[in-house]
């Protein structure tokens, strides 16, 4: 769900960290917790909590789950597919039926190649017909391969953890190849499968060693969210009355449609003002129950002293 999905009548409650300098407000550092109540959904509202743990960091729902965009992405930006996974393909060089175990992306030599998803580098180096090859192990027994590279990303080595679309090398034509392209493969438990079928969604779950800490953070932010008063429901929009029928004056008629004669004299002068206009009333100050005012100390009690709440991920 995104803010673009919000509709009239939906309610959002937010806990944000306030940064002060010498006791004066400076800026908001980030959203600590968020609640969304849908006007057309009477079920439990949706809440997210920002958790900073030893190994887990990010926004999680009330069950400690964090859906992420991560998933799998095309390793070469905007590159067209020139050859698809095909177990019965006629090899263009050897001229005999040989399985095409991956997906080929056409791109010029030197085009950057990124990891399709998060994982750990399991192999990097020359690999016969595959030329310069990088292999990455991913959760769930999946391995991806990036073949025919002209060169590798500087400093990349076996054991490195990579993020989605992190640079791993550059398109080339090393090994058994007819021209510059990326040969992208995917394996599941050692068996090749069509890389185009990779799932694009993923879900992180708080680990066992972080659950107690997350529960404390959740309780703290639940109390803060609950202390923010909910606004009154919006009134129902009144029905719009249909416009009254009007009849145009007959062609050649010198009178207005209102039926009155056309004015012949000057317009009457506007009446002079009899007094100063009434002063516009000042808007009412917000009630204390409608907002939570917190200092940086209040929100940082349970967090590390060096963490200012900025979300850098």
pLDDT digits (tens, 9 = 90+) for 108-117: 999 999 999 9
Closest-CA residue to 231 (of 2, 5, 10) = 10
Give percent of the chain above pLDDT 70.
Answer: 72
pLDDT in tens, 57-98: 889 999 998 876 656 888 998 899 999 999 887 777 778 888
pLDDT band at 297 (very low <50, low <70, confident <90, very high): very low
E strand or H helix that includes residue 300? helix 296-300
pLDDT in tens, 238-267: 666 655 554 444 444 443 344 444 444 444
E strand or H helix that includes residue 93? none
What is the average pLDDT across 214-234? 91
Reduced to 3 states (helix: H, G, I; strand: E, B; else coil), residue 80 is coil
| Domains, the chain, ordered by start | 3-70+204-232+290-300 (3.10.450.350), 81-199 (2.70.70.10)
Q: What's the mean pLDDT when you consider all of the chain?
A: 78
Closest-CA residue to 195 (of 67, 76, 108) = 76
CA-to-CA separations, 308 to 12, 298, 305, 311, in angstroms, rounded: 23, 12, 8, 9
Cβ(173)–Cβ(132) under 8 Å?
A: no
**Residue 260, Cβ density class (10 Å: 0-12 exposed, 13-18 middle, ≥19 buried):** exposed
To 10 degrees, the CA torsion angle through 106, 107, 111, 113? -10
Specify the pTM: 0.45
Give percent of the chain above pLDDT 90.
Answer: 44
What string of H, E and C letters represents the secondary structure of 202-264? EEEECCHHHHHHHHHHHHHHHHHHHCCCCCCCCCCCCCCCCCCCCCCCCCCCCCCCCCCCCCC
What is the average pLDDT across 218-222? 95
What is the average pLDDT across 221-241? 82
């Amino acid at each position: 769900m995104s803010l673009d999905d919000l509709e009239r009548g939906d309610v959002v409650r937010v806990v944000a960290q306030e940064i002060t300098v010498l006791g004066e407000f400076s800026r908001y550092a980030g959203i600590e917790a968020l609640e969304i109540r849908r006007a057309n959904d009477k079920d439990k509202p949706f809440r997210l909590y920002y958790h900073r743990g030893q190994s887990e960091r990010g926004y999680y729902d009330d069950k400690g789950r964090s859906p992420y965009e991560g998933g799998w992405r095309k390793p070469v930006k905007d590159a067209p597919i020139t050859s698809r996974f095909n177990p019965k393909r006629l090899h263009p060089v050897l001229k005999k039926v040989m399985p095409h175990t991956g997906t080929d992306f056409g791109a010029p030599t030197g085009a950057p190649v990124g990891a399709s998803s998060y994982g750990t580098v399991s192999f990097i180096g020359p690999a016969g017909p595959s030329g310069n090859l990088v292999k990455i192990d991913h959760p769930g027994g999946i391995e991806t391969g990036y073949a025919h590279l002209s060169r590798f990303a500087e400093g990349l080595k076996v054991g490195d953890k990579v993020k989605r679309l992190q640079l791993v090398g550059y398109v080339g034509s090393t090994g058994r190849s007819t021209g510059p392209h990326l040969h992208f493969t995917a394996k599941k438990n050692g068996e090749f499968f069509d890389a185009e079928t990779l799932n694009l969604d993923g879900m992180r779950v708080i680990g066992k060693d972080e659950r107690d800490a997350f529960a404390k953070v959740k309780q703290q932010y639940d109390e803060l969210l609950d202390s923010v008063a909910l606004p009154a429901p919006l009134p129902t929009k009144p029905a719009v009355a249909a416009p009254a029928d009007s009849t145009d004056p007959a062609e050649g008629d010198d009178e207005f449609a209102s039926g009155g004669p056309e004015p012949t004299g000057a317009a009457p002068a506007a009446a002079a003002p009899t007094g100063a206009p009434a002063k516009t009333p000042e808007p009412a100050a917000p009630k204390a129950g409608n907002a939570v005012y917190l200092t940086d100390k209040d929100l940082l009690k349970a967090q590390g002293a060096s963490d200012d709440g900025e979300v850098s991920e």
